[in-house]
Structure 1
Amino acid sequence: MTITAYQKLQRNAFGRLVLTDTEGQVHEGVVPVRAHPISAPDEGVSLVGQDGHELLWVDRLSALPAAERELLQAELASRDFMPSIQRIRKVSTFSTPSQWTVETDRGETQFILRTEEDIRRLGEGRLLIASSHGLQMLVPDRFALDKGSKKLLERFL
């Protein structure tokens, strides 16, 4: 089903997304899933039904009417929790596993870096760092970090 193949997207009384297609079939508990959450967050969003099958593909969120776009953006924001690292305060040791203390856009936190392989290079200076608990944190531009943060980070790259 494409973007034009639906009639209405709304929330029900329980706060869950409900998609009504052009045939009048109602799909409750629809979940939006980004195809490329980091590199192209506005492009390629799939609306998936409770059975795990795709009900609707949205090429661009910006192509949706304002009400549906805001509804999907709010739903995606509640699901996508990826703090952005702004500064690396300290690391416990330069071998892994090591405990990192970082400042993020959501506040200061600590996490354990199990191995150097838990730091993924995404291109254009971006990094994705996975904690031992599976939390993903983004470094939007490692070259824009302060001097101390760069020095600590380079020991692991």
Structure 2
Amino acid sequence: MDTAGVNGVPVKGFGASVKTNRFGKAVIGDVNSYYRNPIRIDVDKLDENADVTRSVSQATLTEGAIGYRQFDVIAGGKAMAFIRKADGSFPPFGASVMNEKNQETGVVNDEGSVWLSGIQPNGKMTVKWDGQARCVVNLPAVLPAVLENLLLTCAPE
């Protein structure tokens, strides 16, 4: 199992949870041959600075087979933020905010408000609408101790 390089993610099959290693990999040993086996991220034990876009996958393996499943895990802080373009206007309602791995980390609401996940110091997020990248948000090198009501500027690429 692969969690996109995020370590410490609790994953499980039928039995107890195990955590991914420092490379974001884990081995689930409690699978049955020729049966549909659910493999999941244990969201009840997931660190508060991680989000998943899909938490369950299923695999039917033959005897002796090794299966591989990848889950997109977004690591980093979470906060309510407000995004303004360089000219003072707001990105349009429904614009997508994407991280450097091209994972969607938020959707713009009214007047630039957005719930962001995956906030990293010195991170870069791209705001897209109409199918194109329109502007870039450069996150600060030092994030506030309490991540709430971040004011972010989205500059043209």
Same fold (TM over 0.5): no
Hey, which of these two has a bigger chunk of helix by percent? 1
TM-score scaled by structure 1?
0.27
Structure of greater Rg = 1
The answer to which structure, 1 or 2, has the higher relative contact order (CA under 8 A, 6+ apart) is 2
TM-score scaled by structure 2?
0.27
